[in-house]
């Protein structure tokens, strides 16, 4: 049986740890690195209900390369993740700005399922829960929040699996 693909467009504020987040998990599996049109693509595997899936992360910087992902947005199992550093309040502001730019650019093509990812949970929390809740409201329905540490691996596997599960549930 062929593995199904789950697609995650991932972006965030500078130094939020996006590359570390993806690399932490893909160390267990062969990574598929491709670079093109301002997009870095990483592939890893996740297991949901004893079924293996390929989890493809399309790491983008800002909104420029979104036009290159038109075919990805048409896929059934696709989500958008925006990452910020929970130890840095300015990082959350940048994540909000990036999300607003993506929403403006994509309009009705915006993935239905979204994730706000708080990285660096191993550091003292500099962002209030009220600020996180406010961004969650801005991101709208079908948005899920996860915290983890790419450095220590805390909540990494659970976060990857939850992202995959939520996207699969939404694709049904």
Give the span between the Cα atoms of 115 and 142, in whole angstroms: 8
Give the span between the Cα atoms of 57 and 41, in whole angstroms: 6
Domain annotation for the chain: domains and CATH numbers: 11-126+143-148+167-171 (3.40.50.300)
* pLDDT by residue, tens only, the chain of 172 residues: 456 789 999 988 877 888 777 776 654 433 334 434 467 888 888 888 888 898 888 888 765 667 777 778 778 899 999 999 999 999 999 999 989 988 888 888 889 999 999 999 999 999 999 999 999 999 998 999 999 987 888 898 899 999 999 999 988 7
| pTM listed for this prediction | 0.86
Give the span between the Cα atoms of 168 and 166, in whole angstroms: 5
């Amino acid at each position: 049986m062929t593995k199904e693909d789950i697609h995650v467009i991932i972006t965030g504020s500078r130094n939020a740890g996006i590359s570390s987040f993806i690399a932490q998990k893909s160390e267990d599996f062969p990574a598929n690195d491709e670079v093109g049109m301002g997009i870095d693509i990483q592939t890893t595997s996740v297991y949901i209900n004893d079924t293996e899936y390929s989890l493809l992360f399309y790491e983008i910087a800002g909104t420029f390369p979104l036009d290159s992902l038109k075919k990805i947005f048409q896929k059934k199992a696709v989500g958008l993740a925006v990452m910020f550093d929970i130890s840095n309040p300015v990082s959350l502001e940048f994540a909000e700005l990036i999300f607003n730019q993506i929403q403006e650019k994509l309009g009705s093509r915006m993935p239905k399922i979204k994730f706000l990812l708080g990285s660096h949970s191993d550091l003292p929390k500099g962002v209030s829960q009220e600020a996180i809740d406010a961004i969650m409201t801005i991101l709208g329905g079908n948005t899920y929040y996860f915290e983890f540490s790419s450095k220590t691996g805390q909540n990494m596997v659970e976060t990857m699996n939850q992202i995959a599960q939520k996207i699969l549930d939404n694709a049904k």
